[in-house]
Chain A
Amino acid sequence: MAWIKLFNREVKLRPFVLSPTLRKIRGKWRDGKYTGRIVITGSVEITNGPKHAGPYRNHFVDSALGAIMYILLTSVTAASGGGYFNTIAPLNPHTMYIGSDTSTKTTASMTALVNPIGTAPGTAPNSWNNAMQLLSNGSAVTYTATWNAGTVSGTIGEIALYGSAATAYYVGTLSSSTTPDWNNNSVMLSRLSVADGDFSSFTINSAYPLVIVWTVQFVFA
């Protein structure tokens, strides 16, 4: 939620969402059926025993943009005899971490959780899987992280989706005969936080597993 000043009082506003009617009108004014944009959004759902919350909208950070840049700039060719390539899928989300901070808002340049639960970058989930589903105008990939009962404790104030990102760009084609001048890191791609007003903090009930489902949608819009 955003805060604005109205008649000298601070007022909390709901996110700006167009009604179906306004959406139709906007559609008429736009450039034909495909406006030439791909919009990537993310949302998070949390289940911990009887508690189920969400979906909440996430906040992508710079690393996600950097990974897209790498994809758009660099062609990686694995010729036979290769072996230079370790993790060569920029942007591929592969884990989540949880943290306790409730006061630090997400910034574009943020690279990690403020107060991770467990040793930094945090306690990795016990299991992980992903699945894809088709939407009417695009697709969605759902990542499910599960921490078994009793493996994490404390109060959750922030959650991060981690994935691959390049630390350097290479314009053109890389192959096994090219000395790689690039690297892939595991970095925070997106964050959900109490400080941003995304969700309310809650204490983990250690008697139950903690299951977090992070959905990334990419659609024509």
Chain B
Amino acid sequence: MAWIKLFNREVKLRPFVLSPTLRKIRGKWRDGKYTGRIVITGSVEITNGPKHAGPYRNHFVNNALQALGYILMTNMSNPSGYSYNISPLYPSTMYLGTNTTIATFPSIVGLVSPIGASPGTRPNSWSSSYGSITNGYQVAYTATWNAGTVSGTIGEIALYGNFTASYHTGGISGAWGTHTGMLSRLSVADGDFSSFTINSAYPLVIVWTVQFVFA
């Protein structure tokens, strides 16, 4: 939620969402069926025993844009013999943190106060699945921390994946590298969700869904 000043009082506003009718009117004013845009969004659902919360909208950070830039710039041809991970943008894990005061900004690279040794305690299991949705597709990543493996109050959650520290124009074969870093963050400080204490008697399951659609 965003805060604005209205008649000298701070007012908390709901996100700006067009009604179905307004959406139809906007569609009529736009350039035909395909407006030439691909929109990537992410949302997070949390389950911890009886608690189920979400979906909450995530905040992508610079690393995600940087990974996308790498993909758009570099054609990696036949890098046989080089043991690097060569999938920019590929999400590979999640971490949890306790911070509830620092809002997400583009250049943030990790959780502020991770639970466990930095960058955090990895989930015990990880899986991904995909499917089509109206106008596009989605990929869902599921991270599970077994009961008793993490504890504390969750104030921030991060989706980690591959990004690159440098760009290379054109074809490349070996002389490159990728890094693992935070691609997106969900935080109490952004007003995304309410902090909660992990119930260690149950597993903690977080499903992070990335959607990419024509819009």
Contact = CB atoms under 8 A, between A and B. Distances in A.
Interface of A: 1-2, 4, 13, 15-16, 26, 28-42, 57-61, 64-66, 68-69, 71-94, 105-108, 129-132, 137-139, 141, 164, 169, 171-172, 176, 190, 196-197, 216, 218-220
A132 B69 contact: yes
A59 B36 contact: yes
In the A-B complex, the 4 residue pairs with the closest CB atoms: A16-B29, A29-B16, A83-B80, A82-B80
14 contacts: A32-B59, A34-B61, A34-B105, A36-B184, A64-B38, A78-B83, A80-B83, A82-B80, A82-B81, A91-B71, A130-B72, A132-B72, A137-B106, A218-B69
A78 B82 CA distance: 6
Contacts, number: 246
Interface of B: 1-2, 4, 13, 15-16, 26, 28-42, 57-61, 64-66, 68-69, 71-92, 103-106, 128-130, 136-137, 139, 162, 167, 169-170, 184, 190-192, 210, 212-214
B60 A36 contact: yes
Given A15-B29, A68-B40, A78-B84, 19 more contacts: A2-B29, A2-B31, A31-B1, A31-B192, A32-B104, A36-B58, A38-B40, A59-B35, A65-B136, A77-B83, A78-B83, A92-B75, A107-B33, A107-B34, A129-B170, A139-B69, A171-B128, A172-B128, A216-B72
B65 A91 contact: no
Nearest to A31: B15
Given A38-B64, A74-B87, A57 B36 contact: yes
